[in-house]
Amino acid sequence: MGDAKDFFYELLNIPKHSTVHQIQQAYTTLIRTCHPDKHPLSSKHHPHINFKSITQAYEALVGEKEEEEASTRWKQTYSMLRNQKHHHRQTRIDQGTLQQLPMGSINRRSKSCNPTTPTKPIVFYQRKPPPIEKGLECSLEELFWGCNKEVRYIKDVAGSNGAVSKREQVLKVCIKPGWKKGMKVVFEEKGDERPGSIPSDVVLTIGEKAHSYLKRSGNDLLLKMEIPLVNALTGWTFSIRLINGKKMSCCIEDEIVTHGYEKIIQGQGMPFDNDKGGKERGDMRIRFCIIFPKQLTQQQCRELGRFLKDCI
């Protein structure tokens, strides 16, 4: 292709050994002046013939350049992959280092080429050690208000000579209001190091400490309260302590409380974790458990039956 290639460079008016970018620039400039749509077919020099020659020269030169670059890149990639076996992750090669490898570039000559068509970046797999997994226990109050906590762990550190040593690390974690038990926080590449590998991740799983009187259910808070039968039948006034530390007075009147009955206090539960302002919250649910008397005298049974006879 020697003579033909020299002719193609001369036709595009560019020096030999030009880059793909320089070839594309020259082609773009020439097609603006030689495109058939800008000249009638009766033109003396028949620009449409020149346009076909320019396109042929462009496709041939770019195809050859891209094949050469593709071959070089695949060789570099293969040398990186051949010793990697397990724990892979998909990583994009730095475009400034390896540029981009077009799909189907090996058969580029047989296809029309458009200099403005985007190409797909080459992808390779790189070994990564398994993650370090730790639990992070939080109180209900910490998950309500949010807080900052520290997590200490031991990781492997690879030295410049390839030796691996142990080192204690500290991670600072910002707990957001409304986070739930089981949520995972991932610190990428903060874990173990291995020679020739990227560092592993650290995965923290949020735990929830048992509360003295509250139990979480989604974004709601459940409070179980035992009451004597007389209060369930006649009503009473009581106070509760909310998750924010404040006290609230509640009154049950003009209603009969059954076993398992729940009283809902709206907006006094846990904040929603997707609410940035922390204004949207779940509810407080008070569930009543009735304490029945262990024994009654015969007279008490007769009197109770007389009072309740007409209430059925």
DSSP symbols for 60-107: HHHHHHHHHHHHHHHHHHHHHHTT--SSEEEEEPPHHHH----TTGGG
101 and 53 in a single domain? The answer is yes
Query: Of the given ranges (80-89, 144-153, 198-207, 254-263), which has the lowest mean pLDDT?
Result: 80-89
Q: Dihedral (C-alpha) 121, 125, 129, 132: value to the nearest 10 degrees?
A: 40
87 and 164 in a single domain? The answer is no
Does the pTM of the predicted model rise above 0.85? no
DSSP symbols for 117-177: S--PPPEEEEE-PPPEEEEEEE-HHHHHH-EEEEEEEEEEEE-TTS-EEEEEEEEEEEEPT
> Higher-confidence residue: 191 or 274?
191
DSSP letter at 210 equals: P
User: Sorting pLDDT into bands at 50, 70 and 90, what band is 126?
Assistant: low
- pLDDT tens-digit profile of 32-89? 777 666 555 555 454 555 767 778 877 888 788 777 777 777 777 666 666 554 434 4
Which CATH number do you get for residue 60?
A: 1.10.287.110
- The full 3-state SS of 99-132, as one line of letters, equals CCCCCCHHHHHHCCCCCCCCCCCCEEEEECCCCE
Contacts of 38 (CB under 8 A, 6+ apart): 47
40 and 151 in a single domain? The answer is no
CA neighbours within 13 Å on the CB side: how many for 229?
7
> What pLDDT is recorded for position 35?
62
How many domains does the chain divide into?
A: 3
Considering 51-55, 100-104, 222-226, 257-261, the range whose residues carry the highest mean pLDDT is 222-226
Q: In the predicted model, is pLDDT for residue 112 greater than 90?
A: no
> What pLDDT is recorded for position 23?
82
96 and 154 in a single domain? The answer is no
Which of 208, 236, 264 is the last residue before a domain boundary? Answer: 208
User: Sorting pLDDT into bands at 50, 70 and 90, what band is 104?
Assistant: very low
Which CATH number do you get for residue 301?
A: 2.60.260.20
137 - beta bridge partners? 207
195 and 248 in a single domain? The answer is no
Which of 93, 126, 159 is the last residue before a domain boundary? Answer: 126
51 and 151 in a single domain? The answer is no
Domain that holds residue 271: 214-311
235 and 287 in a single domain? The answer is yes
Q: Please give the Cα distance from 16 to 28 (Å, whole number).
A: 18
Which of 178, 208, 238 is the last residue before a domain boundary? Answer: 208
Strand 262-265 and strand 147-158: the pairing is unpaired
Q: Which of 178, 180, 200, 204 is nearest to 127 (CA)?
A: 200
Mean pLDDT value of segment 177-198 = 92
Q: Which of 2, 63, 22, 46 is nearest to 12 (CA)?
A: 22
Percent of the chain with pLDDT over 90: 41
> What pLDDT is recorded for position 78?
65
198 and 222 in a single domain? The answer is no
Mean pLDDT value of segment 167-195 = 93
> What pLDDT is recorded for position 86?
41
224 and 183 in a single domain? The answer is no
The DSSP element (H or E) to which 308 belongs, if any, is helix 298-308
Mean pLDDT value of segment 172-190 = 94
CA angle in degrees (0–180, nearest 5) for 242-247-253: 100
> Higher-confidence residue: 95 or 149?
149
User: Sorting pLDDT into bands at 50, 70 and 90, what band is 200?
Assistant: very high
Residue 34 tokens read as 């030689």
Query: Of the given ranges (86-90, 167-171, 244-248), which has the lowest mean pLDDT?
Result: 86-90
142 and 120 in a single domain? The answer is no
> What pLDDT is recorded for position 276?
61
Q: Which of 213, 150, 206, 203 is nearest to 178 (CA)?
A: 206
8 and 120 in a single domain? The answer is yes
20 and 119 in a single domain? The answer is yes
